[in-house]
Amino acid sequence: MATRSTRKKTAKPKLSHIDARGRAQMVDVGDKQVTERVAVAGATLVMKPATLKLIQSGGIAKGEVLAVARVAGIMAAKRTHELIPMCHPLPINVAGIEFAARRGGKLDVRATVKVSGKTGVEMEALTAVTTAALTVYDMCKAVDREMTISDVCLHEKSGGRSGHFRRKR
C-alpha cells in the first residue's frame, strides 16, 4: 500500500529572469520603490611578490597600475548594462575601487557601488571589481603571466525588498 509523504514540499526558488515558459526575460521593476542600494564586491589577485613591489613602486612600464585599474573599475560599473544582457541601466551615485596589498604577493580589490533606484547594484559591483582586477593583470602580464584572479564574490548588499545581505566568512 502506498503512503503519502508527510514532508512539507519546499517551493523551488523562482528565477526572476526566466518567464513561465522558460525563456529569458528582463525583470519589470516599474512597480518597485526607489531606495538607496549599496553593493560591495571583492576579488583577489595572486602574483609574485616582486610584481606587487613593482606595482607599489611605480615600476610597471605601462604606467600607474592601481590608478588605471581604479578608473577601469568605475567605468565598468557605469556600463554594466551594456555587458550583462538582463541588467537595467542605472544612474549610479558613486562607484569606488580600493586596493589592499597583503603578504605573499596578494592584492585585494574591493568595489563599492551605490544607487538610488528600483533595482540593486550587485552586478555593477561585481563587474567593477572584476574589470579592475583584469586591468591589473593586463598592465602587469609582461612581468608575471602566472598571476591569478580569484575569490570574486559579493561581500554585502543593502536596500530593496530583499533587505540586507552580508557574506559569512
User: Would you name the residues annotated as active-site residues?
Assistant: 138
Q: What are phi and psi of 65, to 5 degrees?
A: -55, -50
Confirm if 162 and 27 have CB atoms less than 8 A apart: no
Residue matched to cell numbers 544607487: 115
Q: What are phi and psi of 156, to 5 degrees?
A: -160, 150
Confirm if 92 and 78 have CB atoms less than 8 A apart: yes
